[in-house]
């Protein structure tokens, strides 16, 4: 079963628009970690944020913000005032409890295209 | 900054060839990982290693093997490449530890085409 669902395959916006990427996860663990990564055209995954399941406080970093809601098992990501450099594939990932396999389960990714 | 490097950005191989993909990290991380990325499927874990000479299967280990002789280097081996192994391969590393899920840092990826 898919543990991380990113329902949006592609999103296209015009520069300066806001864009929200949805991430819904599934786990039975009470301790887990959620991540967002960005993959620009160059290919390298860039780490953006890590949250643990006990910290539901929303976070803002510059134009990026994250909304973590355990009640709906969602960890959504918003880019405010998007720029062309934000064009990339964005992945949400889940790790379930500290465990020996250190496994990350990734969503399928959302491709964001920001047009000038 | 964490630096994870992969030996090749692009590779073209023929069916049946033995293929080596190399990954090196410079942050003394204990854990290293190999993923493959395919459109619509996200990243899937092939193998990982939490110590030198240790390896564990991930979700899709069939057709692959790995080697970790030194802490900083983790190699992915395709014993006999097949066309369905055409993909983007990503290496990652993270600190060791069982108390908290450490962040994985990724290399630039290797695009492998098997003809």
Nearest to B56 among A33, A43, A101 (CB): A101
pLDDT at residue A57, rounded to an integer: 83
pLDDT at residue B102, rounded to an integer: 75
Residue of A nearest to B104 (CA): A47
Which positions in chain B touch A49 (Cβ < 8 Å)? none
How sure is the predictor about A30, in pLDDT bands with cuts at 50, 70 and 90?
A: confident
B34 shares contact with chain A (CB less than 8 Å)? no
Distance of CA B79 to the CA centre of its chain: 14
Nearest to A47 among B33, B97, B105 (CB): B105
What does the alpha-carbon distance between residue B20 and residue B77 come to, in Å, rounded to a whole number?
Answer: 5
Which positions in chain A touch B40 (Cβ < 8 Å)? 9, 108
Q: Do A100 and B50 touch (CB under 8 A)?
A: yes
Q: Residue B78 is encoded by which pair of tokens?
A: 């395709």
3-state secondary structure of A55: coil
- Is pLDDT above 70 for B19? yes
Dmax (CA) for chain B in angstroms is: 44
- Is pLDDT above 70 for B73? yes
Place of tokens 């060839």: B17
pLDDT at residue B88, rounded to an integer: 96
> Taking residues A45-49, what's their average pLDDT?
92
Q: Shortest Cα distance from A47 to chain B (angstroms)?
A: 7
pLDDT digits (tens, 9 = 90+) for B23-48: 999 988 888 999 999 988 889 999 99
Task: Indicate the pairing of strand A4-5 with strand A88-96.
Answer: unpaired
What does the alpha-carbon distance between residue A43 and residue A36 come to, in Å, rounded to a whole number?
Answer: 15
pLDDT digits (tens, 9 = 90+) for A71-114: 999 999 999 999 999 999 999 999 886 555 567 889 999 999 99
Phi then psi dihedrals of residue B24, to 5 deg: -130, 135
Query: Interior CA angle at B65 toward B96 and A2, to 5°?
Result: 70
3-state secondary structure string across B36-67: EEECCCEEEEEEEECCCCCCEECCCCCCEEEE
pLDDT digits (tens, 9 = 90+) for B84-113: 999 999 999 988 765 556 788 999 999 999
A91 shares contact with chain B (CB less than 8 Å)? yes
How sure is the predictor about B82, in pLDDT bands with cuts at 50, 70 and 90?
A: very high
DSSP-based helix, strand, coil % in chain A, nearest 5: 5, 50, 45
Closest-CA residue to B90 (of A47, A84, A4)? A47
Q: Do A107 and B88 touch (CB under 8 A)?
A: no
Nearest to A98 among B9, B44, B100 (CB): B100
> Taking residues B49-54, what's their average pLDDT?
88
Q: pLDDT above 70 covers what percent of chain B? A: 94
Q: Shortest Cα distance from B55 to chain A (angstroms)?
A: 10
Q: Shortest Cα distance from A75 to chain B (angstroms)?
A: 17
Strand partners, B19: B78
How many residues comprise chain B? 115
Q: What's the mean per-residue pLDDT of chain A?
A: 90
How sure is the predictor about A59, in pLDDT bands with cuts at 50, 70 and 90?
A: confident
Dmax (CA) for chain A in angstroms is: 45
Q: Shortest Cα distance from A8 to chain B (angstroms)?
A: 11
Q: Do B58 and A107 touch (CB under 8 A)?
A: no
């Amino acid at each position: 079963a898919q543990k991380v669902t990113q329902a949006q395959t592609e999103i296209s916006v015009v520069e300066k628009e806001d864009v929200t990427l949805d991430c819904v996860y599934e786990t039975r663990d009470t301790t887990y970690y959620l991540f967002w990564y960005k993959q620009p055209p160059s290919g390298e995954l860039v780490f953006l944020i890590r949250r643990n399941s006990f910290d539901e406080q929303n976070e803002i970093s510059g134009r990026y913000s994250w909304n973590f809601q355990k009640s709906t098992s969602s960890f959504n990501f918003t880019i405010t005032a998007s720029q062309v450099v934000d064009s990339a594939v964005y992945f949400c990932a889940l790790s379930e409890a500290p465990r020996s396999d250190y496994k990350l389960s990734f969503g399928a990714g959302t491709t964001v295209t920001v047009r000038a | 900054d964490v630096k994870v490097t992969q030996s090749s950005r692009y590779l073209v191989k023929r069916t049946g060839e033995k293929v080596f993909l190399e990954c090196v990290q410079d942050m003394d991380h204990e854990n290293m990982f190999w993923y493959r990325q395919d459109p619509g499927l996200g990243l899937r874990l092939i193998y990982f290693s939490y110590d030198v000479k240790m390896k564990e299967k991930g979700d899709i280990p069939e057709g692959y093997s790995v080697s970790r002789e030194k802490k900083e280097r983790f190699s992915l081996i395709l014993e006999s490449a097949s066309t369905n192994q055409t993909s983007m391969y990503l290496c990652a590393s993270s600190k060791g530890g069982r108390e908290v899920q450490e962040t994985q840092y990724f290399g630039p990826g290797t695009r492998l085409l098997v003809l």
